[in-house]
Structure 1
Amino acid sequence: MTDVTGDHQATVRIKNLLLRAYIGIKEEEINNQQDVLINVCLSYDGTNAINENDIAAALNYRTITKEIIRHVDGNRFALLERLTHEVLAIVMEHAAVTWAAVEIDKPHALRYAESVSVTLEAHRSKS
């Protein structure tokens, strides 16, 4: 096997995490849970995970997913922008994450549209 040395920026994608939450400002939205579809893309330095081939050296995306589920599922949010911001903050709480983008879709939010989504991203500043 060819040895590839150097830094390895790993990209992890959590795709189509389907949860239910109270999201919106109209009475119907406040009183009824709706589907939200969450997509997360994040980067971290995967060099140690590659070299050690050990879960302890990798970013635990299962933990991140569980934190997102706990925060979103069944909870209340007025705006899609705020919900997206809060999910992005959960991802960025993990020090290993150097960049992340979160897109959250609200299916059937508009007539004739499959969904409406908001995307936010963050970069960790280098100190």
Structure 2
Amino acid sequence: MQLNNPAVIKIKNLRLRTYIGIKDDEINNKQDVVINAKIHYSANDAANSDDMDKALNYRTITKKIIALVEQQRFSLLEKLTADVLALAAEHPSVHYAEVEIDKPYALRFADSVSLTLSVNK
């Protein structure tokens, strides 16, 4: 059977710790962030061949995201989200990518603050 539909990979609730923010306590202490990514790509070659070399490797993407988030410092949620989005969208077979990052407990009386960015290629 030949597939013709785009595939969607969803990375859900990737919980990491990073330096994020502009206040002294945020600069000096890692905070939790929760990352959700949605990646649309053409999976025809992979689905029709069962060949890993023709697939978009979500494990590789996730490892790159983890390394970026854990090894860098960010003042703004916008910069962190944009950098993660660039990794999610870098493969040539990706047509669309969307990343949402939550910063739990960033506001009093709120579970979290989140920012979403997306790109169409």
Same fold (TM over 0.5): yes
The count of aligned residue pairs is 121
TM-score (norm 1): 0.91
Q: Residue 72 of structure 2 corresponds to which residue in structure 1?
A: 75
**Identical counterparts, % of pairs:** 55
Shift of 1:55: 1.2
Q: How does 1:106-121 map to 2 (within 5 A)?
A: 106-121=103-118
Answering whether residue 86 of structure 2 is matched by residue 89 of structure 1, we say: yes
Structure 1: which 5+ runs fail to align?
none
Q: How does 1:1-127 map to 2 (within 5 A)?
A: 3=1, 5-124=2-121
Q: Secondary structure at the match of 1:117?
A: strand
| Moved >4 Å (runs of 4+) | none
Distance 2:53 2:79 in 1: 32
Distance 1:84 1:59 in 2: 21
**Cα contact 2:3–2:48 (8 A) shared by 1:** no
Map Cα deviations across residues 58-97 of structure 1 (whole Å, 9 max, x no partner). Answer: 1011110010011001421000011000100111211111
Instruction: Compare CA radii of gyration and give the structure with the larger one.
Output: 1
TM-score (norm 2): 0.96
Shift of 1:8: 2.2
Q: CA RMSD in A?
A: 1.0
**Cα contact 1:33–1:74 (8 A) shared by 2:** no
**Cα contact 2:17–2:70 (8 A) shared by 1:** yes
**Cα contact 1:20–1:74 (8 A) shared by 2:** no
